[in-house]
Amino acid sequence: MPAESDFISWIRAQQSCDDLVRLPAGDDLAILDWPPNDLLLIGVDQVLDGVHFDSTLHSPRAIGRKVMNRNLSDCAAMGCLPVAAVGTVALPRHAGLDYAKELYLGLRDAADLYHCRLVGGDTGSWDGKLVLTVTILGSSGGIEPVTRKGARPGDDIYVTGPLGGSILGRHMTFEPRVHLGRRLATPGTVTAMIDISDGLSRDLGQICEQSKVGAVIDGDLVPIHDDVCRLPPDGLTPLEHALQDGEDYELLFSSSSSIGSDATRIGRIVAEPGMWLMRDGMSEPLRPMGWEHAL
Amino acid sequence: MPAESDFISWIRAQQSCDDLVRLPAGDDLAILDWPPNDLLLIGVDQVLDGVHFDSTLHSPRAIGRKVMNRNLSDCAAMGCLPVAAVGTVALPRHAGLDYAKELYLGLRDAADLYHCRLVGGDTGSWDGKLVLTVTILGSSGGIEPVTRKGARPGDDIYVTGPLGGSILGRHMTFEPRVHLGRRLATPGTVTAMIDISDGLSRDLGQICEQSKVGAVIDGDLVPIHDDVCRLPPDGLTPLEHALQDGEDYELLFSSSSSIGSDATRIGRIVAEPGMWLMRDGMSEPLRPMGWEHAL
């Protein structure tokens, strides 16, 4: 029977050193030479079978890609460069070495596109379902990171793409907006940014709460993804789907100056705390609806 | 029903900034100001219900402590300072907010002892069993990290405490040898080091393989933990338990000069690849036995 050590040997054979990586995966810890003038950004995200993917439907390669892309999307939302990552996998017993390799290759597929190195991990097998985590390290690389805190009354609110209906497939195949996030962060005029993972209204609520401001969204301006029209009827309008559906992984941000063709303006930051939706010239409260884990 | 956001709000309220932490948990990523002259060490470890702990026996506080301590032990094995960590938890549905808080407090209990900051995480609930991961960041803090690669023929082999029988309880309650690892690494005479998680013979095999050397262990010198005598009979000798049992989390290292009372000498590094056990003046092959996940 293949063992953890076979998987680890296979991974080690693919490791290499460079300016950043002094000692890659294979010891107790990897050793990195962090560039002295760069801020270090760190975060972690997990995916759970039956919640974020379905192992009976999705390939291990696609599952690996998704967890890495979720983390890369966090880098996009801060405007930083992804530079290194470590991951864990809890494998259902008897999943096999080839399945484990495909998960790893999924991580690598996604990471390699952004020159992000995989420098460590932990593998275990159990009589439970598949869990993957990735912890990502980003570097400011000369550009001040964009947080959720800086939105100011009068800023315009933008989104980088059409929203809603990701459940039909895009939640597995989205492209993290790493280059776009970096480009948006460069001039210093984007005041707050987040990636839409839990739904526009919920994630906008994060910016409002942390920036201590409010927001007015113009319902006519919110770009709705074609996928919304293909959803089975569920009583929600297309706009409600665009406002509530999660896992779009587009960037939602506020800016103190106008943005070119990279994003669509959908509203404005206001001083009064709260969120409102304008429709047909009428204003109504916009509640933070979207994905949340119950405990 | 309590939600993920209640847990996250509770965690955020406990976050603070300092010289290292410019922006703590609560945004897409935390932002750290890495000290310019310190190497960055990174690794990740997970614990799985039914493998590394038993949620029907062990308290959430103890489970949280264990996963953090496993990571702190990796820092010990490199001789570095643990400085920051992020974690994930996959919670069985309806585990509840109090249970989640206890897991977090377990992480904090262990981390606080070494001034290691918890700067981020991800929480999810699912119809699976409990999984926790911790990713740890260590700093070289002026001392060259000790890898598994530097053992040289003629070095003595040491272990920092008695081994075997951790399954009786110490696997949940061990103290990571962070301060001791740091003290051992300081003079630069410890040539290779690892923490014993998978069993002495298997972990010594890691040092031999990566240092491209062999080892001779003197069976009479291996310190055996009292717990071994309390194990139910299983056909193994006490020495075999000390050589094979996992999760002792003592440090195993080679040194080019003698060590004081911090550790017990148990053998010697030799040039010829392989491992041998001396007993009653006779030498026999020592096979790497111990814990390994089957895939």
Task: Please check whether residue B213 is in contact with residue B273, taking contact to mean a CB–CB distance below 8 angstroms.
Answer: yes
Query: Quick check: A292 and B5 CB within 8 A?
Result: yes
Is the confidence at residue B291, as pLDDT, over 80?
A: no
| Distances from the Cα of A10 to the Cα of A3, A108, A293, B83, B220, angstroms | 11, 14, 36, 30, 37
Q: Spell out which residues of chain A touch residue B122, defining contact as CB-CB under 8 Å.
A: 44-46, 133
Q: What distance in Å separates the CA atoms of residue A270 and residue B172, rounded to the nearest whole number?
A: 51
- The per-type count for chain B, helices as H runs and strands as E runs, is 7, 13
Which pLDDT belongs to residue B290?
73
Q: Spell out which residues of chain B touch residue A149, defining contact as CB-CB under 8 Å.
A: 27
Is the confidence at residue B294, as pLDDT, over 90?
A: no
Is the confidence at residue B292, as pLDDT, over 80?
A: no
Query: Quick check: A5 and B121 CB within 8 A?
Result: no
Instruction: Give pLDDT tens digits for A8-58.
Output: 889 988 888 999 999 999 999 999 999 999 999 999 999 999 999 999 999
Give the pLDDT band of residue A171 (cuts 50, 70, 90).
Answer: very high
Query: Quick check: B294 and A2 CB within 8 A?
Result: yes
Architecture of domain B156-285: Alpha-Beta Complex (3.90)
The domain made up of B4-139 has a fold known as 60s Ribosomal Protein L30; Chain: A; (3.30.1330)
Which chain A residue has its CA at the smallest distance from B137's CA?
A29
Name which of A22, A43, A294 is nearest B86 (Cβ-Cβ): A43
- The strand pair at B214-218 and B274-279 is best described as parallel
What is the number of CB-based contacts under 8 A between chain A and chain B? 249
Query: Quick check: A48 and B90 CB within 8 A?
Result: yes
Task: Please check whether residue B150 is in contact with residue B191, taking contact to mean a CB–CB distance below 8 angstroms.
Answer: yes
Domain ranges within chain B, ordered by starting residue:
4-139, 156-285
| Distances from the Cα of A244 to the Cα of A160, A203, A228, B137, B283, angstroms | 16, 10, 11, 36, 69
Which pLDDT belongs to residue A14?
86
Exposure string of A269-287, with b = 16+ CB inside 10 Å and e = fewer, is bbeeeebbbbeeeeeeebe
Q: Of the given ranges (A7-21, A49-63, A228-242, B39-53), which has the lowest mean pLDDT?
A: A7-21
Q: How far is B31 from chain A (nearest CA, A)?
A: 5
